[in-house]
Amino acid sequence: MQTKFIFITGGVVSGLGKGIAGASIGTLLESRGLTVSLMKLDPYINLDAGTMNPFQHGEVFVTEDGAETDLDLGHYERYTNAKLNRKHNCTTGQIYDAVLRKERAGEYLGSTVQVVPHVIDEIKAKILEGSDAVDVAIVEIGGTVGDIESLPFLEAIRQCRHDIGRENTLFIHLTLIVYMENGDMKTKPTQHSVGKLREIGIQPDILICRTKGDLPQKIKKKIALFTNVEVEAVINAPDVKSVYQVPLTFNKEGLDEQIAEYLKMWTGKPKLQGWADMVDRFQNPSDEVTIAFVGKYVDLRDSYESLNEALVHGGIANRLRVNLNYVNSEDLSEKEVQKQLKKAHGILVAPGFGVRGAEGKVRAVQYARCEKVPFFGICLGLQMAVIEYARNVAGIPTANSGEFRPNHPDNVIDIMPEQEGQEGTGGTMRLGAYPATLKPGTRIAEVYQEDKISERHRHRYEVMNEFVPRLEASGLIISGRHPERDLVETIELPDHPWFLACQFHPELQSKPMKPHPLFASFIRAAYQYKQSFKSKSSKYE
């Protein structure tokens, strides 16, 4: 079977949504009975996204095999059934690292190593490696056409058409139609963007045009005429209220039909009723809840992309609109805690790294515990919950984390002995999927409806087992453990309507069509809290 390849490029400006477009195309092709894989080629020189600042790059998505990747892989997995791994995100840094290793090993037999052919050949090899023998491989090229950094990747996909054949390759270009204040729609930037592609030998087959509204047929004809594409291949991609509407919008525009025709593929008719029902539940909720989202990167939504979406999925599961009230943990002083959290029906303490904002997270945990507000802690959120409980319940007032205060006897959170002495900041964490065994009769076992699970991790620090007996004696339930290394994976409280924290990242496996059970349960608990809430004096001190 010959895998077909769809290459997605972007023009005019960055941030148009190539990842959402690629994921939506994957949804449509799967709805027609095809198997897909999705890949992101990133032009930055970092080896991976693991050490990049969330404010610059957004969320780091973690795959099953522990790769720290671009956040677009999260979109790919949420929209499709594809299980992605480190082969599906490739950076310039990885390409040059591979080329230089081969040069040092003598694999080029003394040749002068150059961008063409050696770097380009390495990119093409990575593209083929990530195709996974599926019906269609969707490959997104990061950056914007015209960027110097993207040129090797664009040359590689140009050569792919030559190598694999025109009938097996499809070029889709995502571009922007500029709206003027007087209502005019300007196509010139799109024309120039396509012109830049054609200069390097790539003629787009399909144009996806981001717009604020409907794209008139006369504008489509003008775009088609000056970019040398068929009118039917000019696809309108208007702004939508939810990114989950995009597959339905593309289908309405006939994008999946165009793809099947260009690639000469026989497919079944698209089966999108389930997806349409999901969008309907999202757009027509029966009620709403407010969740206080406590984190340190809340000024940039992309920093918590998977977590934001998983909370939405929890709302979809309960037909509830989830209103997220982002609370910067640095601002949660003792005086501000009640003011910022008192209107929340649930409190989530988000993952993160570093001491900045840590005490604010501890205060948020204390408020949730004392006020009996549904609480969900993830990764660092679990660690802050353990620290709060140790300080205020278990009688360890100086409890803290080795991340913030190294070499102290009361660090209830610290690195494991086998981690000591590791150098560097990249790739030194517990990364990827690890199993956990859940304690029968606990809330988390009830939520999962099973006692053995596997979830993805991204952290260095662990709960120190030497403190566990003291914590348990004070009432904390260690409800989940790593079966081989006996590490704490989940905690909960018995005398609380919903107080649960996990060391792993459940948001990485949540999908709109299959919401993660922890988020569905958390949002349900928040709604129950809302329904039962009555004015009362605060117990928080």
Q: What is the DSSP letter of 460?
A: S
**Nearest of 293, 345, 342 to residue 318 by alpha carbon:** 345
Q: What is the DSSP letter of 331?
A: G
75 is catalytic: no
- 196, containing H or E segment: helix 188-199
DSSP-based three-state secondary structure for 405: coil
507 is catalytic: yes
Catalytic member of 75, 173, 457, 505: 505
The 10 Å Cβ neighbour count of residue 189 is 15
Cα 6–9–13 angle (5° rounding)? 155
**Alpha-carbon distance values, 425 to 51, 91, 304, 422 (Å):** 7, 18, 21, 9
Scan for tokens 């959402």, then name that residue.
20
Cα 357–359–365 angle (5° rounding)? 110
Which region holds residue 229: left if phi is over 0, alpha if psi is between -120 and 50, else beta? Answer: beta
The tokens describing 259, both together, are 């793809």
Pairwise CA distance, residues 2 & 170, whole Å: 14
Helix H segments across 264-343?
A: 273-283, 305-317, 337-341
- On whether the CB atoms of residues 394 and 388 are closer than 8 A, the answer is no
**Alpha-carbon distance values, 3 to 60, 75, 127, 159 (Å):** 29, 22, 11, 16
Which region holds residue 228: left if phi is over 0, alpha if psi is between -120 and 50, else beta? Answer: left
Scan for tokens 């549904």, then name that residue.
374
**Nearest of 41, 37, 65 to residue 133 by alpha carbon:** 37
Which region holds residue 441: left if phi is over 0, alpha if psi is between -120 and 50, else beta? Answer: left
Pairwise CA distance, residues 502 & 9, whole Å: 38
What single string gives the DSSP state of each residue in 364-389?
Answer: HHHHHHHHT--EEEETHHHHHHHHHH
CA 441 to the chain's CA centroid: 32
167 is catalytic: no
Catalytic member of 379, 403, 462, 516: 379
| First CA to last CA distance, the chain | 66
Catalytic member of 309, 359, 403, 507: 507
Non-local CB neighbours of 419 within 8 Å, separated by 6+ positions: 428, 460
- On whether the CB atoms of residues 132 and 84 are closer than 8 A, the answer is no
The catalytic residue positions are 379, 505, 507
